[in-house]
Amino acid sequence: MSGIDHVAIAVHDIDQAISWYQSVLGFDLKVHKVTEGQDSSMVSAVMQSGTATIVLVQGLSPDSQVSKFINQFGPGMHHIAFSVSNLDAIVEAVSREGALDTPVVGEHGSRQVFLRCDEVSGIRVELIESGNGSYSDTNMSLLYRSLEKNDLY
C-alpha cells in the first residue's frame, strides 16, 4: 500500500453534506455525478482539501447499495480506498483468503477492486492502481454493478 486514495462516506443528503464539508472544513467540490447500476444508482461528490480526498455518496432509491448500507449501518464511512502499485500481487494474495467481492476492473490505465468487509472492523476496502491512468467513470460503474449484482453494500 502506498497511501490512502480516498475515504467514502455514505450520507442521507449529499447537498447538506457538501455544504458542511465546504463551510466547516474548507473542502472544495471537485466532481459531482451520478453512477448508474443495473437496477439502481447513486450520486457522489468528490471533495478535496490539500492531499485529503473524501467521496460523499448517497443512494438515489431505496434499492441503491448506498441506501441499503445506510439502512443497515447508518450514515458514515462506507469504505476506505488504498493506492497500490502492484494490484495483481495483492489480488492474488487476498484471493487465497477469499476476500474479493468484485472482479478487477480497469480502463485508461487505472484498475480497481473491492474486497469483502473486514469482519473485525466492519470496513470495506477498495484497492486502486492508478498507473499512468486517470479515474474512470466506467470503472466506478462496473464496480457498483458488481456490488449490486451480489447485493453487497
Q: What domains can be seen in the chain, in order of their start residue? A: 3-149 (3.10.180.10)
110: β partners: 107
pLDDT beyond 60 at 46: yes
The mean of the pLDDT values for the chain is 89
pLDDT beyond 90 at 74: yes
Q: What is the pLDDT of residue 32?
A: 96
Q: What is the pLDDT of residue 131?
A: 67
Q: What is the pLDDT of residue 135?
A: 60
Q: What is the pLDDT of residue 133?
A: 53
76: pLDDT confidence band, cut at 50, 70 and 90? very high
Q: What is the pLDDT of residue 132?
A: 60
**Half-sphere exposure for 119 (CA within 13 Å, toward CB):** 3
CA distance 3 to 17: 25
Which residue is it, cell 445506510? Answer: 70
pLDDT beyond 90 at 19: yes
Give yes or no for a contact between 98 and 125, defined as CB atoms under 8 angstroms apart.
no
CA distance 83 to 93: 16
**63 to 32, 39, 149: CA distances (angstroms):** 21, 8, 12
What integer is the mean pLDDT of 127-145?
A: 75
Say if pTM beats, i.e. exceeds, 0.85.
yes
In this structure, what C-alpha cell is assigned to residue 63?
434499492
Please, which residues have CB within 8 angstroms of residue 2's CB and are 6 or more apart in sequence?
82, 83, 84, 85
In this structure, what C-alpha cell is assigned to residue 45?
461528490
CA distance 148 to 106: 18
